[in-house]
């Protein structure tokens, strides 16, 4: 791991793949089999679950939770306190009352495409967010988002289009 900065308080699995130029800050946890691309910044208190894939040149801000089943492509911005979910039918127990195990669970997939931005305090259900799409702060994304779409609200709805700079266009 050349030119990688990992803060002393971070917990990075030796089975994680961390690429050159990446910075991992205070109290973050990177689980086994996670992959983080070149020059990506993982800010304070970020949780990256096992098997998560994050591309190069991404910025993952403080207190973000990225759970198993999520893939984030290159150049994505994820604002503070964003939470990615991965279970469409969350339950702690089975119908018979027994506690659910890993074999009782079906992971749902999420894909965040190149250049997308997700605003602070957003919740992302298992969806596909298109290239250079912009998710407004505080949104709850329950459906796929097209390329270059601007979405906001609870649930998030398309309210316009943006360019590669994130500026609204007609």
Q: What is the pLDDT of residues 56-85, one digit of tens each?
A: 999 999 999 999 999 999 999 999 999 999
At residue 1, does pLDDT exceed 70?
no
| 6, HSE (Cβ side, Cα atoms, 13 Å) | 17
Q: Rounded to 5 degrees, what are φ and ψ at 24?
A: -120, 120
The span from the CA of 132 to the CA of 117, in Å, is: 7
The single residue listed with the structure tokens 């506690």 is: 99
Q: Is 68 among the catalytic positions?
A: yes
* Candidates 5, 7, 68, 81; catalytic one: 68
Q: How many CB atoms are located within 10 Å of the residue 129 CB?
A: 27
CATH of 1-89+100-170, one of 3.40.190.10, 2.160.10.10, 1.10.1530.10, 3.40.30.10: 2.160.10.10
Q: Rounded to 5 degrees, what are φ and ψ at 159?
A: -120, 0
pLDDT category at 108 given cuts 50, 70, 90 is very high
Instruction: Please give the radius of gyration of the chain, using alpha carbons only, rounded to the nearest integer.
Output: 16
């Amino acid at each position: 791991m050349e030119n990688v900065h990992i803060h002393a308080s971070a917990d990075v699995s030796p089975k994680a793949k961390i690429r050159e130029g990446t910075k991992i800050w205070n109290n973050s946890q990177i689980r086994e089999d996670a992959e983080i691309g070149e020059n990506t910044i993982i800010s304070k208190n970020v949780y990256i679950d096992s098997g998560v894939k994050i591309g190069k040149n991404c910025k993952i801000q403080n207190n973000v939770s990225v759970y198993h089943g999520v893939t984030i492509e290159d150049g994505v911005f994820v604002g503070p306190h964003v939470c990615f979910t991965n279970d469409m039918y969350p339950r702690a127990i089975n119908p018979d009352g027994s506690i659910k195990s890993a074999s009782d669970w079906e992971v749902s997939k999420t894909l965040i495409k190149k250049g997308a931005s997700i605003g602070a305090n957003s919740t992302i259900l298992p969806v596909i967010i298109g290239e250079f799409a912009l998710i407004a702060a505080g949104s709850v994304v329950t459906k796929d988002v097209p390329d270059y779409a601007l979405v906001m609200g609870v649930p998030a709805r398309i309210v316009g289009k943006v360019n590669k700079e994130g500026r609204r266009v007609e």
